[in-house]
Structure 1
Amino acid sequence: MTNKNLYLPFEVDFKELEQFPKTIRKNNFFELIYIVDGTGIQVINDNKFQYRKGNLFLVTPQDVHSFEIITPTKFFFLRFNEYYVKAGSQNAQSETVLRMEYILQNASHRPGCILKNQIDKPLIASLIKNIISEQNNQQIYHQKIIEQIVNTIITIVARNIALKLPKNIKETTGEMVLEILHYIQENIYNPKELKSEKISSHFNITLNYLGKYFKKQTGETLQEYIANYKLRLIEARLLNTDMRINEISDELNFSDESHLNKVFKKHKGMNPSEFRKRYS
């Protein structure tokens, strides 16, 4: 595996490739990868997703990824780090900055195209086309214009990820609950770390206050949120990967495949295999 560093606040790159570099990469920055044209398979954290024209992927610093190209592919890369997000929000309240960081980090367990909002797909395509044009023409103020477009793209990405956050999370939501949500995301594969006692101890608050505070801020109890978050991960694996049910069960620490089937059917009204067949 190779590690790649970013030495500028952000950088854009456009490449047409018939074969992606063989090395599996892990970056110390965020990377947006847009498919201008072509087909193939994105491999991220051992999950696979068939890509095509118009797909947009967000690779976070926690992710390990590569591409298997089937037909020659035109890739657009936009790389930026968390300091760029902070610098771009200098005049914003710290809660807004934290929210943006949390939203971006929250994508790390979401394989596949992150554009869930249909109206954003043509908008992203147009913005990226404009960046490529500015890069090629190099007219006066082109760098400043590119920077403004980059900010817009990052904001649109945050909106698409935010669509899947708890319904009560707003711009004014307190910083602590965002930190709790981020903690849950980081430890979703380690159930011992997700016990209420462990979380209350980690944040140095009482169990009683944790329960009331979390419910008030998100509209869900702590355990409801964890369960619903796991369900979203299961859905993503079913729709965007070829993982078997028992593999998903092992990854998310269910006692066995039948336990996952029972939990999934209780919430979705069908078992995982039926869900995959109906919605893939």
Structure 2
Amino acid sequence: MRLKNLHRPYEIELLEADQFKARQFKNSFFELVYVLEGTGIQIINDVELPYGSDKLFLLFPQDRHGFEISEKTRFAFIRFNESYLRTQPKEWLQKLEYIFHNYDHLPGCILKTVTDKPLVRSLVEALLREQQSPGSSGVEVTQQLLNTVITIAARNIALIQHAEAYHPALPLSLLGYVHQHIHSPEELRVEKLAAYFHRSPNYVSQFFKRETGETLQNYVNHYRLALIESRLLYTNARLDDIAAEFGFTDSSHLNKTFKKLKGLSPSQYRRSARVTRHIAAV
């Protein structure tokens, strides 16, 4: 299967296509696909679902994907790679954590908020116009619009995850609480969760284990580790900064914990992962 590469930090493309069956590809980058008009079938990882106008799809690196077009379609492709993510502030990247770790990689529009649909269409159309604008100001506006579209996508995926994780026994899903407070270890103590949900610590521990199949502490450790892997892979953040962000006492504490769970130090993981991705992109 052909691997498509992106040789710039981001790329915006308008494609108009008639009826055809698209061969499936894998990307080495992230891709948001907005359907301006047209109908057909979207395929992600061998799962098919109809598409229509005003739909926004998210493709991850290594997802197998393609489109079967039944009615002439205008696609807007918004592509960005890890080098673009490495230029963004930590606070913005934190908002994307639902995208990196909670998205199910299945076909279907990710816009679940009705009012976001016309907003995204306006932003996509503005992105396409800015592509024609010469000079540095056009680049700055393009990046602002791009970040806004990505942020809206993340917000909608977060809403999907909250809806799916919600359990009527609690006013807010435990998983949602954990995800929201993953950068504040003190807030993830079982006593804190118990107080927040007005339950006993024992009830929260048993409920969490029953619903997720693992203890609260194990889930927190593995989810935090997954986010740290993203920091190592997609950003140039220093180990000291990552340690502070995720509540470790220092980089030595981070090294010890990461190596215990992954078998590699954070620095070794970063080098190995980037070499692997580089080879795959060649």
> Would you say same fold, with TM above 0.5?
yes
**Pairwise CA distance, 1:4:** 1.0
Percent identity, aligned pairs only, is 40
Structure 1 residue identity aligned to 2:81: N
Matches within 5 A, 1:141-220: 141-166=137-162, 167=173, 168-169=176-177, 173-175=181-183, 212=190
Deviations 1:75-113 (A, max 9, x none): 0000112442342124x3xxx635524424422433200
- Counterpart of 1:117 in structure 2 is 113
Task: Indicate the residue corresponding to 1:38 in structure 2.
Answer: 38
CA gap 1:86/1:75 in 2 versus in 1, 3 angstroms = same
Mapped partners of 1:75, 1:87: distance in 2: 27
Q: In structure 2, what is the Cα distance between the partners aligned to 1:88 and 1:158? A: 15
Contact persistence 2:4–2:27 (CA under 8 A)? yes
Gaps of 5+ in 2: 163-172, 198-203, 215-282
Q: CA–CA distance in 2 between the matches of 1:68 and 1:46?
A: 12
With normalisation by structure 1, the TM-score equals 0.59
Q: What does 1:59-138 align with in structure 2 at a 5 Å threshold?
A: 59-90=59-90, 92=91, 97-98=93-94, 100-138=96-134
Cα distance change, pair 169–99 in 1 and its aligned pair in 2 (3 A): farther
RMSD in angstroms over aligned alpha carbons?
3.2
Q: What is the count of residue pairs matched by the alignment?
A: 191
Q: Counterpart in 1 of 2:16?
A: 16
Correspondence for 1:221: 208
Aligned counterparts of 1:21 and 1:137: Cα–Cα separation in 2: 33
Q: Would the aligned equivalents of 1:14 and 1:75 in 2 still touch at CA under 8 Å?
A: yes
User: What TM-score, normalized to structure 2?
Assistant: 0.59
Name structure 1 gaps, 5 residues minimum: 178-209, 228-280
CA distance in 2, matches of 1:22, 1:127: 27
Counterpart contact for 1:10–1:81, Cα < 8 Å = yes
CA 26–141 in structure 1, closer or farther in 2 if over 3 Å, else same:
same
**Corresponding letter in the other structure for 1:145:** V
Deviation, 1:143, is 1.5
CA distance in 2, matches of 1:110, 1:226: 23
**1:56/1:113 contact within 8 Å kept:** yes
Q: Which moved more, 1:10-19 or 1:78-87?
A: 78-87
